[in-house]
Amino acid sequence: MEKIIVLFLFIRVFTLQCHAQDELSFNELAELYPEWENPDWMRQANEDLLLSEVTIPGAHDATALRGGRFAKCQAWSLEDQLSAGLRYFDLRVDGSLQLVHGPIKMNMKLAEVLDTIVKFLKEHNKETVLLRVKPENRKDTVFDKTMELLKQDNIKPFVYMLDGSSDNNPKLKTVRGKIVLLKLPDKFNFGISYFSTHKKN
């Protein structure tokens, strides 16, 4: 009986991780109303601010648009999230660079996400987008394939620090119009340190 109770609690916690407990939450409104759009808010920020000095709204499991209570975390498409002003995206990918949430595939590939962001940055070149790519499995394969994508001619000009230079806390003016990758130890070893974004100098 004790094992059954523990299993029930685990499932309950897992299913509520992304899904709102209220009948309707902000995150469950699928339509992005015009008054919520804010695609150019970073244009107003002082470009001499360090990236860590800018409060950046973002999305956990940003592409988790399906899977019901077990996997769905978002109601807005990536395009709508960008239009609403979100600038940090947590992405979970498998060895084939499919976007996933746990075992559930999101019918989207990382290449599509990058294309969407590049298109947005072309139209809003004062903005900056931070990406955290987290391998759900086969982390070495994910890293190698992601690096291949980032070096493609249509993506490379929009990626900050692709040459491996070491400014872990750049000023906003340095990363305007760029995708900034965030690296985590033993998970994705490219980009600026995820933890450097907490620093104030």
Active-site annotation holds for 101:
yes
Q: d(Cα 197, Cα 200) in Å, to the nearest integer?
A: 8
Is 60 considered catalytic here?
yes
Q: Where are the alpha helices (DSSP H) in the chain?
A: 2-15, 78-84, 110-123, 139-150, 172-175
122 with 142: CB under 8 angstroms?
A: no
From residue 61, alpha-carbon distances to 44, 71, 84, 115, 195 in Å are 28, 9, 16, 18, 19
| Residue 157 buriedness (CB in 10 A; 0-12 / 13-18 / 19+) | exposed
Q: Which of 19, 101, 124, 198 is catalytic?
A: 101
- For the annotated catalytic residues, the residue numbers are 60, 101
